[in-house]
Amino acid sequence: MKIAVLGGDGYCGWATALYLSAKGHDVAIVDNFIRRQWDYELSVQTLTPIRPLAERLRVWQELTGNVIELLVGDVTDYDFLASVIRGFEPEAVVHFAEQRSAPYSMIDRKHAVFTQINNVTGTLNLLFALRELQPDCHLVKLGTMGEYGTPNIDIEEGYITIEHKGRRDVLPFPKQPGSFYHLSKVHDSHNMMFACRIWGLRATDLNQGVVYGTVTDEVAFDEALINRFDYDEVFGTVLNRFCAQAVAGHALTVYGQGGQTRGFLDIRDTVRCIELACLNPADRGECRVYNQFTEQFSVIELAELVKAAASKLGLKAEIEHLSDPRVEKEQHYYNAHHSKLIDLGLSPHYLSDSLLDSLMNIAIRYRDRIDSSIFLPQVNWRNTSNERKTQTTVSAVPSFAATGS
């Protein structure tokens, strides 16, 4: 297939582009490198050293003979995006090109407004470009399990059957997002459903859980292809942070009681899910929703798992509870259904099998790059004027599209 990966220089996008290329698909990466700019803004760096994208693509071509086309530009610029769709003529578009950090969206008003405008505008531009230029193209859009929140009922895959006052209907599952970032994803989902209904587009909304892991078969070919390992409090994941903290001899910082429960999946399952969605497209006029994760863990369970893994490596890790800077339930019911991708053929990897190789050993390998000063939270959900030490301000950013989930 001809597949355009928007945000292909980011964490999920890079692994996906390589995987699809290795599988024989004709791949184009669309990006503008702003994910790298945010590291400068926040004065942080990924634990793993990331080469320039042109060098990464050159090494990939030398190793495999496969060419991945690079198209540099801004998805919030409709003319540019339309030129991509018109020129490349994709059969599927994988859309990772959004600002994907909840804490980043909660820093202050500017970051909240930027996140919403950037994410919603980019997706709307894509929907209009597909309608005008490639109406049969299948949109595979990265959503988030965070759209649902933590309801006291089972979370279905996108839709729920409701019986009310003697009548029955299938409706979108109620959304209770927990940040301005998650709200932007809800807006995306509604816009996609609307576009499919009125224009006959085809789309798959992948409500993804927290992704972990650095290594895929393709990334392992050469260190120049290595993927991101973000552990800071804005773009890093809790699991990455715990691993870096354990290696650095720092306490594992659990927010609140640690009962916050979410879905998780290995990066190797993310790329497989994307391919399964592309190979099994939605029908015209259909907006499917798949819950994309394989296991559920609470924060305290993750801390205990990392503590045990650290012990096997001769590292002593202690757990410390901090006041929760977020507005969230620290103890709650959580049971989300996730069978549709399994039905399509996904064979999951499990955290118990990859915690050491894909996380702890990577943290040990690059331990000299760990910056312990970025472990502790600075963004408070209750405070809309968080002060941060930055190299640039977000006001300089909106001329770029946020690319690279």
- The residue among 114, 85, 66 whose CA lies nearest residue 6 is 85
Buried b (16+ CB within 10 A) or exposed e, 330-360: beeebebebebbeeeebebbebeebbbebbb
Between strands 261-266 and 295-298, the pairing is antiparallel
Distance between CA atoms of residues 141 and 186, nearest Å: 12
Distance between CA atoms of residues 210 and 208, nearest Å: 7
Q: Is 144 among the catalytic positions?
A: yes
Distance between CA atoms of residues 325 and 340, nearest Å: 34
Distance between CA atoms of residues 207 and 245, nearest Å: 28
Active-site choice (16, 46, 144, 204)? 144
Place of tokens 């071509």: 61
Do residues 275 and 212 make contact, with C-beta atoms less than 8 angstroms apart? no
Q: What angle do CA 11, 277, 264 make, to 5 degrees?
A: 50
Taking CA atoms, 21 is separated from 3, 387, 397, in Å, by: 9, 42, 31
Active-site choice (19, 148, 181, 212)? 181
Place of tokens 């090494």: 59
- The residue among 178, 233, 241, 237 whose CA lies nearest residue 211 is 237
Active-site choice (115, 185, 255, 290)? 185
Distance between CA atoms of residues 341 and 202, nearest Å: 17
Between strands 167-172 and 159-164, the pairing is antiparallel
Distance between CA atoms of residues 342 and 350, nearest Å: 14
Cα 174 from chain centroid? Answer: 21
Catalytically active residues are: 144, 181, 185
